[in-house]
Amino acid sequence: MAETDILVTRETKRSYGLVRGTIAILCLGLPFLGRQRIQVTTERVIIESGFLTKVRDDVEVFRIRDVVTTQPLWHRLLGIGDVIIKATEGRTEERHTLRGVPDPIAVAEAIRQAWNQAARPRSATNIDG
C-alpha cells in the first residue's frame, strides 16, 4: 500500500519564549530561521527544520507510543502550541517536539489517526488455498 499524506503544515510559528524571542528579534531580526515543516503520512511523521542547515527527522508511525500537546496561555492567544511525540527506538525513548504548531490538537489527532491505522491488524489473506 502506498504512503499517503494525512496532514501537511507549512512553516510553523516557532515558539521561542519571551526572553529568547526578544533577543532573536533585537539581535537577528530573523526569528523565522528556526521554523519547522511537518508532514504526517500513513507511515511516518516527517519533521524538517533549519535555514542554513536543513535537518529532516523521520519518525516511523509504528514506533510512536504517545502524543502530548502543550498550550500555555500566550500560545492559546496566538493560536499555536507544541506537540510532543514520544517514540521508541530499541530500548530507548525518543522525544520529538514540534514547536509553535498551528492548531496543535488537530495535528496530534492526525498523528493518532495514523498510529491507529498502523496498529490495526491488516485483514488476513487466505493462505490455505
Per-residue pLDDT of 34-58, as tens digits, reads: 578 888 888 999 988 877 788 899 9
Q: Quick: pLDDT tens for 63-83.
A: 999 999 999 888 888 888 899
Q: How far apart are CA 35 and CA 49, in angstroms?
A: 6
Contact between 3 and 89 under an 8 Å Cβ cutoff? The reply is no
Give the tens place of pLDDT for each residue, 79-90.
888 999 999 887
Q: What is the pLDDT of residues 8-18, one digit of tens each?
A: 776 555 555 66
- pLDDT at residue 15, as a whole number: 56
| Cα within 13 Å of Cα(33), Cβ side | 11
Residue bearing the bigger pLDDT, 63 or 118 = 63
Contact 106, 116 (CB under 8 A): no
CA–CA distances in Å: residue 28 to residues 15, 50, 69: 16, 15, 29
Mean pLDDT (the chain) is 79
Q: How many helices (H) and strands (E) does the chain have?
A: 3, 7
Kindly state the cell numbers that stand for 27: 539581535
Q: What is the dihedral of CA 59, 4, 13, 62, to 10 degrees?
A: -20
Q: How far apart are CA 40 and CA 84, in angstroms?
A: 14
Least confident of 30-34, 68-72, 114-118, 119-123: 30-34
Task: Give the pLDDT band (50/70/90) at residue 126.
Answer: very low
Mean pLDDT of 90-94: 86
Per-residue pLDDT, 70: 93
Q: Which of 43, 42, 46 is nearest to 9 (CA)?
A: 46
